[in-house]
Amino acid sequence: MTSRVCVVTGAGRGIGRAAAIHLSGQGHRVALVARTESELVSTAAECPGETLVLPTDVTRPDSAGEILDTIAEKWGLTQILVAAAGRNRSAKLDETTDSHWQSMLDLNLTSVFQWLRAALPPMAANGWGRAIVVSSIAGKRGFKHLSAYAAAKHGVIGLVRSAALELAHTGVTVNAVCPAYVDTELTERTIESIVAQAGWTRADALHHVNSLQPIGRMISTNEVVQALSALIDNAGMTGQSIHVDGGLVHG
């Protein structure tokens, strides 16, 4: 197996953390990016291989270029980008403020655009690269009270498809994974929000979230990482948005 230089955004928690640990276990060098340094240090401690802890706010326009330059100075060209930074926030449409709307676009769409814009041209010039964006099943269908988040996630899938077509002849692939509810801290906050807004017990809210997946449970981070790993390995898959949703959405 060829050891690659990787960067994972959102590496402090959830899917990003699981992806970073997996890539490290596969023999790759992994740069860990998120806002909270202590969470990145915790992730690094679980990685068996070489890591860089690079705290930053990925929504800051210059962050992508600065981080990629730092990685290049230490290790060379970034060859695998996993854009896993993201969050959701629920509100009814008529209660979605402009700042709520903008924050969802800034993190879940605009920051991904900025990271792809910075990372993909050097990969293309080098003749090999993989970019994988963690989108959501909310990028494939609507959900009540998630209009801003769903709009951003739909947008990022369009971004992935367009970038993949531009780079299809270069040896670089660009794909997305689209999980349903994953057993992470982010989903725990969703459950807490359901409890607060609907007045349900936590047990009822958890049952509701589990029941949304036809398999009757949340998706594990490992199941998402398995899909991500397949996209790295397969040069013939590009412009795809792979569902990891327990059968929730077809097509």
Cβ atoms of residues 131 and 178 within 8 Å: no
DSSP conformation letters of 50-74: -EEEEE--TTSTTHHHHHHHHHHHH
Where b means 16+ CB within 10 Å and e means fewer, 48-69 reads ebbbbbbbbebbeeebbeebbe
Q: Where are the alpha helices (DSSP H) in 75-146?
A: 98-105, 111-126
Q: Choosing from 149, 154, 164, 248, which is the catalytic residue?
A: 149
Query: Which residue type, as a one-letter code, is found at position 62?
Result: D
How far apart CA 160 and CA 106 sit, in angstroms, is 16
> Is residue 181 annotated as part of the catalytic site, yes or no?
no
Within 128-171, strands assigned E span 129-134
Give the tokens for residue 14.
């959830």
Q: Is residue 242 classed as helix, strand or coil in its secondary structure? A: strand
CA-angle at 216, arms to 182 and 205, nearest 5°: 70
The closest of 17, 20, 108 to 58, measured between CA atoms, is: 108
Cα 165 from chain centroid (whole Å): 20
Residues with active-site annotation = 149
